[in-house]
Chains A and B, each alone.
Chain A
Amino acid sequence: MKRLLVIEDGTEYAEFARLFLGSEFRVIAAQSAAEAVCAAEAEPGCALLIDLRFDRASQDVLTGDLDATAERLFAGDRVRALRHLQDQQGVLILAELRKLGHRQPAVFVHDFPSRRLENLRRLYGDVRAVPSFDAQALRLALGGEA
């Protein structure tokens, strides 16, 4: 059976995946970058289903350099930088996984504009997106070619 690593700050994605993709995928859940890295190391090659926004995650579990982000994007404003890290955490976790050599397809449930998706593919290879929780579309995205 194929394996699916679900990375999110809650449990909704994993619950959905178990219910509607469970016949094809064994679902493994991770709720932070650290957990995602551990799971990916333990289960190499599993497909990735990633939530973009980690609104509920606390600062200590977020990946990304808060001070550097504040300096680079928000004129030193750490509060805005923290919100930015939360809003974009899914992509930053994917960046961590790619750095460690995990090249499997990564799927987001998000309607990325085409320009952003092009950027993500240029940066991180096989990145796919489906606009809503559609089991068939997710199945295709996780199993087919981009």
Chain B
Amino acid sequence: MPHLSALRYNRRRMAHARAVRLGLLPWLVGACLVACTPSAPRLDQEQWRQAEAQWQRGDPNAYQAWRRLNPGQPQGRAAWVRLEQSDLRYRRAVDMVRTGESGLRDTLTQALALAPMDPTLYLPFARACRDRGSLWRAADFYRKYLVRNPSATEADAARAELVALGADPDPFPPAFDQPSDTEAALPGERGWWARPNGMGDVGLVLTGLGVLAFLAFLAFLGFLGFLGFRRRGTGSLRTMVAERPELHQAVAYQIGCLRHEFLKHRVGAAGEALLAVLDGKASPEQQRFLRQRLHEGEPLLAAWRAHVVALDRSLGLGRSLLRADQTFRTADRALRAIGRGHPRRARQAFQTLRRFDRELGELVARLTSCYVDEPFLREVLASTRSEWSSGQVDLDEVVVGPVPDDVAVDVYRTDLRIVLKNIVRNAIAALANSPHPRRLGIDVLVDTEPTGEDVVRIRVRDSAGGSLADPTDGTVDVEHGLGIVRTALRRYDGSLEALPVDGAYAKAIVVRLFASQGAPSRIGRAA
């Protein structure tokens, strides 16, 4: 699902650009002059401006600020109507996450354009994501809920559910958007621009002038940034996926479609015929073939742009990659050159598109790979043992390995960590009720399928007895523990099995994943 903060960011960025285009400075001057002349009838407007400003800068307290607006006043009434309209859409979005229904991004975009979200909705969002197997996103929403609703009735349940995901024990890591110092310092109903106690009118005017100068400076910087933005474009696709791992799956899927359906079957096949035509050597059949590929069905440019729009949407972009990314701009120009049929340029364009295809392939190959090596498995084990309940269990033997060299899977490291922590935690819980010697082992097997694909099996073995099919023995709690893991694995084309094993162990929980085909060899890199 789209990332709410990304959508907010895009909305704010577009609003910023619009404001700059419309002349931000005069507007700000006017706004500040009005703000510096306090009077009782303008209280509603001032409160509204403060609430609006909180929302625009993504302040976690924006929703409460909107709710405090007086519905008896015109601005407050309008704000309350927008809150109600957006609330319907936010709740609809929760249902869409839950059911997997399409249109989620549009619904959220509409809601975010109207008003801030009720922070209690982070919890249903978190639960819906968890049930859909989006564990990383679920953990993110749980944390946002807890940051904004630390004392809510359901906060304890949310904390327990967050821990059950196997997420980091610290519910408020700095990486997540805790209110900043400024935001945390907001004193109840007062914004930081509210008149401080005891400040006179002269002080207020001076403060206003200071604010005016500061805002003018910001507007100037924004204008410079806007110029740079227009000249260079925003981050390339490569930069965006490097900065936002939560987009990897959607990007990989959309690029896969673009490469297979368009660049391979449409352009790739047509390119050969095009060259023959340009050389004047095309047979009538080849000319017909070219016409079919380029002109029949959906027009070539329309098909290309439909793929790019799908990619834009999966990235939550307000500004298309056709403008923001140099390689996409080049590919677009190449396609238009092919359409114009200039011999030399069309030939170059065809080569450009082949290069573009290769670059996309290389990009996707590096998106989600996670190396499964002994240090990673030891880190999972140590992290699980650092939890209070798992740390209390006395284990007689813990073995990590063997792990074959250079094994990578196409899974986010965070998700694989959550999956394995859940399994290890369950195994330790089962061992707590078992007689000594209590043994725990984690190893990795790699087999090659008849399709040439390598399959990775990560085995968590333990010596605890009990039926594999009995969900009450604390080991294979399919509904509440491994059910989540299973759902998460399915997203990565993986699976989970519980198997009896011989020897020192009683059973094994096996995570099966296809090995990454695109991850660069670490052995090769080392050499």
Contact = CB atoms under 8 A, between A and B. Distances in A.
A131 B358 contact: yes
Given A16-B272, A75-B496, 11 more contacts: A19-B283, A20-B273, A75-B512, A77-B495, A91-B452, A115-B454, A116-B452, A131-B357, A131-B361, A132-B264, A134-B268
A109 B448 contact: no
A77 B365 CA distance: 27
A96 B453 CA distance: 17
Interface string A104-133: 000001011101110110110000000111
24 contacts: A15-B289, A16-B269, A16-B272, A16-B289, A18-B285, A20-B272, A20-B276, A53-B260, A75-B486, A88-B453, A91-B451, A111-B358, A112-B452, A112-B517, A113-B365, A116-B452, A116-B453, A119-B454, A123-B448, A131-B361, A132-B264, A132-B354, A133-B268, A133-B272
B455 interface: yes
A75 B453 contact: no
A131 to B, nearest CB: 7
Nearest to A90: B451
A73 interface: yes
Lowest 7 A-B CB distances belong to which pairs?
A75-B495, A119-B452, A113-B517, A88-B451, A132-B268, A120-B452, A133-B268
Given A75-B496, A133-B264, A133-B271, A19 B455 contact: no
A85 to B, nearest CB: 9
A74 B449 CA distance: 13
A80 interface: yes
Contacts of B283: 19
Contacts, number: 82
A133 to B, nearest CB: 4
B226 to A, nearest CB: 40
Interface in A46-85: 53, 73-75, 77, 80
Nearest to A95: B450
Nearest to A91: B451
Chain B contact patch, size range:
35 or more
Dominant SS among interface residues on chain A: helix
A19 B285 contact: yes
B357 A123 contact: no
Contacts of B452: 91, 112, 116-117, 119-120, 123
A27 B202 CA distance: 91
Interface of B: 260, 263-265, 268-269, 271-273, 276, 283, 285-286, 289, 354, 357-358, 361, 365, 448-455, 486, 490, 493, 495-497, 512, 515, 517-518, 521
B517 A116 contact: yes
Nearest to A87: B451
Nearest to B512: A73
Contact of B448 (A20, A113, A119): A119
A116 B521 CA distance: 13
A35 interface: no
Contacts of B265: 12
User: Most chain-A Cβ atoms within 10 A of its Cβ — which of B450, B452, B496?
Assistant: B452
Given A75-B497, A115-B517, A109 B453 contact: no
Interface of A: 12, 15-16, 18-20, 53, 73-75, 77, 80, 88, 91-92, 95, 109, 111-113, 115-117, 119-120, 122-123, 131-135
B255 to A, nearest CB: 13
A80 B454 CA distance: 17
Nearest to A136: B272
Contact of B361 (A16, A80, A91, A111): A111
A119 B449 CA distance: 9
Contact of B272 (A74, A77, A122, A135): A135
A12 B495 CA distance: 34
A88 B265 CA distance: 18
Nearest to A18: B285
Contacts of A133: 264, 268-269, 271-272
Nearest to A110: B264
Contacts of A80: 490, 493
Given A115-B517, A132-B264, A132-B354, A19 B453 contact: no
Contacts of A115: 454, 515, 517, 521
